[in-house]
Amino acid sequence: MKRIALIAPFILNGCWFWGQKEYHDIVVHSSAQWSQKECLTIIVGAQNNNLTDYRTNIKAIATPYYPSVVRAIARRAQAKYAWSKEEFQSYVDGLLRQGSGMYIDWDRPGEQIYDHDLNPLSGPAQFDSLMFLLTLRNVGWPCGKTLIIGDQVIPLDNVDCQAPDITLIEGKIYLVNEKGNFITPRYVYGRKMNYLTNIDETLFVLFTLKEGGHHFLEGSGRFFLAIKGLEDDIRLEFQTQDMR
């Protein structure tokens, strides 16, 4: 997990250039053929955010770790850190197993993705789990003069100006399907502060999608990452057709 955390901030750095090719045009090809611009297009094309929602000061960027996104992240890291082929494949294998329960047969052309039963990936119901990289920031903080004591930030001008408590953030994050059912994370990892201020909190959020013979996304074309209890509720939409 430490190595994943070191790579994570790199995902959102840099500019994203709009090109002729979009997410679905690129992911059908092997990642060895992707340019750095195309890798960033895949990452940004899969994620969602509420940066233009001015009803709340809490801003969220959520990146789902689909197999295509994992490979795009790894290709950008490979270019930055001069990884070998073996280092690239090892990173992808570990993150795929952890984030979705998927595997890649590197010996076959096209980087074919397989589920844990070694069936070729053909739909979202084959995902055992789904990991998100979730970045949160409170752009409304500070709202006056503050006093900092340890990891506590105390407002001095307005007693009602209080940064949201995120010590139990795992109880405020949900995954919701089109039927309105929801699940809570198996774990949330990476929190650094007790209160959400204007410093980014970058979290890894993992949901278990398959329990016994039931799959949480069965019959859903869309699903939503919901965050409650920080200010106004946040609801980010994703498409199951993008789970590739």
Domain ranges of the chain: 2-242
pTM for this predicted structure: 0.86
Mean pLDDT confidence for 189-212? 95
Per-residue model confidence (pLDDT) at position 204: 98
Mean pLDDT of the 103-108 span = 91
Q: What percentage of residues in the chain have a pLDDT greater than 70? A: 85
pLDDT, tens digit (0-9, with 9 covering 90-100), for 142-163: 776 566 677 666 655 555 567 8
pLDDT digits 0-9 by tens, 9-27: 444 444 445 545 789 999 9
Q: What is the DSSP letter of 25?
A: H
Rounded CA separation 230/165 (Å): 8
